[in-house]
């Protein structure tokens, strides 16, 4: 029997452990981020659980994306000329890795993305092409077909997801059998990787929840329709708002995730402010899991050990200034 290399069946604990070693040894300097009990912060305790927060906002490049990128580049970098599509944290990690490995890279981004993002990515020596949102995929296809570039996907990619799984394995070194793990979800790469790591490590009883914004709930809808679907997305958490749920992430989430819960943009904004008040700079996309916990969206937390992932901290002071106190 031949196995689809990009199917959920291909993901085993051995593969995740190997990816974790690759990420740990990566020359990109990926760190084992701190995980601290909520009651050792000045954050309001809530929901009655024993909550740990995993500070991925302190990760190299400011988000978890570097984990998956470290694994993608380690496996594919030789002689590579890569193209991707992202105005966000994936684009930043991709550019950082391209510079480090000395590979040629191009980021295709929507012309609506902030100019500062193009400037940052170009500063790593990576080319940027800004195009209307509707043409993004056509331009990537052209780069692949005419310029012989290799497309690296920002959430639907086996090497990326197994790299992200390193976060889940690290969590288990601090809390070996969590009752509940809460992770935000955009295309679903992070959630899929973390969920696979926890369940394949034998934590059968752990409940894993994904959190999406109400206006960008592609994985939530995919669970209902029982296939990965897309929608017109709108949210302040732009990293959580890609137009489609990933196919491989969807398959893994179906297997390992209890449910997807939704938070409003207002709840996300309030979470950014509360975290900032406790000295934690977390961007809107990075706050969704925390917002779900403090707004009682996750059932039955009383007395349970709970892990909440804060996935990124890339937010500028201008943006922060617009949030409520
Ligand atoms: C900070 C942050 N959190 C979460 C996500 C969602 O990740 P995924 O698309 O793997 O679900 C992103 C995606 O860019 C992000 O930047």
pLDDT given for residue 79 in this prediction: 67
pTM for the structure as a whole: 0.96
pLDDT given for residue 49 in this prediction: 81
User: Which residue reads 């969206």 in tokens?
Assistant: 297
Does the beta carbon of 155 lie inside 6 Å of ligand 1? yes
The separation between CA 18 and the C-alpha centre of its own chain, rounded to angstroms, equals: 20
Does the beta carbon of 63 lie inside 6 Å of ligand 1? yes
Name which residue sits closest to atom 6 of ligand 1, judged by CA: 186
Task: Return the DSSP state at 230.
Answer: B
pLDDT given for residue 50 in this prediction: 93
The CA distance from 174 to 211, in Å, is 22
Q: What burial class does residue 102 get, using C-beta atoms within 10 Å of its C-beta: 0-12 exposed, 13-18 middle, 19+ buried?
A: exposed
The CA distance from 106 to 94, in Å, is 9
The two three-digit tokens of residue 181, written as one number: 């793990």
Pocket test for ligand 1, best of 187, 238, 288 (most atoms within 8 A of CB): 187
User: Which residue reads 């955009």 in tokens?
Assistant: 186
CATH 3.40.50.1100 fits 8-63+157-320, yes or no: yes
Does the beta carbon of 139 lie inside 6 Å of ligand 1? no
Q: Of 217, 239, 235, 240, give the one whose Cα is nearest residue 89.
A: 239
For residue 251, the CA-to-ligand 1 centroid distance in Å is: 18
User: Which residue reads 């996935």 in tokens?
Assistant: 311
Does the beta carbon of 96 lie inside 6 Å of ligand 1? no
Question: Which atom of ligand 1 has the smallest separation from the CA of 219?
Answer: 11
The separation between CA 304 and the C-alpha centre of its own chain, rounded to angstroms, equals: 25
DSSP SS3 for 188: coil
The CA distance from 200 to 194, in Å, is 10
Pocket test for ligand 1, best of 197, 312, 313, 315 (most atoms within 8 A of CB): 312
Task: Return the DSSP state at 134.
Answer: G
Question: Which atom of ligand 1 has the smallest separation from the CA of 190?
Answer: 10
Does the beta carbon of 188 lie inside 6 Å of ligand 1? yes
The CA distance from 85 to 108, in Å, is 5
Question: Which atom of ligand 1 has the smallest separation from the CA of 312?
Answer: 1
For residue 154, the CA-to-ligand 1 centroid distance in Å is: 9
Q: Of 130, 61, 129, 64, give the one whose Cα is nearest residue 96.
A: 61
User: Which residue reads 């000295």 in tokens?
Assistant: 279
The two three-digit tokens of residue 16, written as one number: 């995740």
Does the beta carbon of 283 lie inside 6 Å of ligand 1? yes
Phi, psi dihedral angles at 180 (to 5 degrees): -140, 135
Q: Tens-of-pLDDT digits for all 325 residues of the chain?
A: 445 667 999 999 999 999 999 999 999 999 999 999 998 898 876 667 899 999 999 999 999 999 999 999 999 867 689 999 998 999 999 999 999 999 999 999 988 888 888 999 999 999 999 999 889 999 999 999 999 999 999 999 999 999 999 999 999 999 999 999 999 999 999 999 999 999 999 999 999 999 999 999 999 999 999 999 999 999 999 999 999 999 999 999 999 999 999 999 999 999 999 999 999 999 999 999 999 999 999 999 999 999 999 999 999 888 888 887 7
Does the beta carbon of 280 lie inside 6 Å of ligand 1? no
CB distance 289 to 240 below 8 Å: no
pLDDT given for residue 3 in this prediction: 52
The CA distance from 65 to 54, in Å, is 14
For residue 25, the CA-to-ligand 1 centroid distance in Å is: 23
Does the beta carbon of 193 lie inside 6 Å of ligand 1? no
pLDDT given for residue 2 in this prediction: 46
What residue ranges of the chain are covered by domains with CATH 3.40.50.1100?
8-63+157-320, 77-151
Q: Which residues contact 102 (CB under 8 A, 6 or more apart)?
A: none
The CATH number of 77-151, from 3.40.980.10, 3.30.930.10, 3.40.50.1100, 3.40.350.10, is 3.40.50.1100
The separation between CA 228 and the C-alpha centre of its own chain, rounded to angstroms, equals: 17
The CA distance from 312 to 208, in Å, is 19
């Amino acid at each position: 029997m031949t196995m689809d290399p990009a199917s959920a069946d291909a993901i085993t604990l051995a593969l995740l452990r190997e990816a974790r070693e690759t990420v740990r040894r990566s020359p990109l300097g990926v760190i084992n981020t701190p995980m601290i009990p909520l009651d050792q912060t000045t954050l309001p305790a809530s929901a009655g659980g024993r909550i740990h927060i995993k500070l991925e906002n302190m990760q190299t490049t400011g988000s978890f994306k570097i984990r998956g990128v470290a694994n993608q580049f380690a496996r594919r970098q030789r002689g590579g000329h890569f193209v991707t599509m992202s105005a966000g944290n994936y684009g930043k990690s991709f550019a950082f890795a391209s510079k480090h490995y000395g590979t040629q890279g191009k980021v295709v981004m929507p012309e609506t993305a902030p100019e500062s993002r193009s400037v940052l990515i170009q500063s790593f020596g990576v080319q940027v092409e800004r195009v209307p949102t509707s043409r993004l995929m056509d331009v990537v296809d052209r780069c692949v077909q005419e310029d012989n570039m290799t497309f690296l996907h920002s959430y639907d990619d086996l090497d990326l997801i197994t790299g992200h799984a390193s976060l889940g394995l690290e969590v288990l070194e601090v809390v070996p059998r969590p009752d509940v793990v809460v992770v935000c979800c955009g295309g679903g790469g992070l959630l899929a990787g973390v969920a696979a790591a926890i369940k394949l490590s034998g934590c059968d009883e752990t409940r894993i929840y994904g959190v999406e914004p109400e206006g960008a709930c592609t994985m939530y809808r995919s669970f209902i329709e029982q296939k990965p679907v897309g929608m017109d997305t709108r949210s302040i958490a732009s990293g959580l708002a890609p137009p489609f749920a990933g196919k491989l992430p969807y398959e893994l989430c179906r297997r390992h995730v209890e449910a997807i819960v939704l938070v409003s943009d207002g709840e996300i904004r309030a979470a950014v402010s509360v975290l900032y008040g406790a000295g934690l700079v977390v961007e809107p996309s990075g706050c969704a899991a925390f917002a779900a916990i403090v707004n009682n969206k996750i059932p039955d937390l009383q007395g349970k050990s709970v892990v909440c992932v804060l996935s990124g901290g890339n937010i500028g002071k201008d943006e922060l200034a617009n949030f409520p106190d």
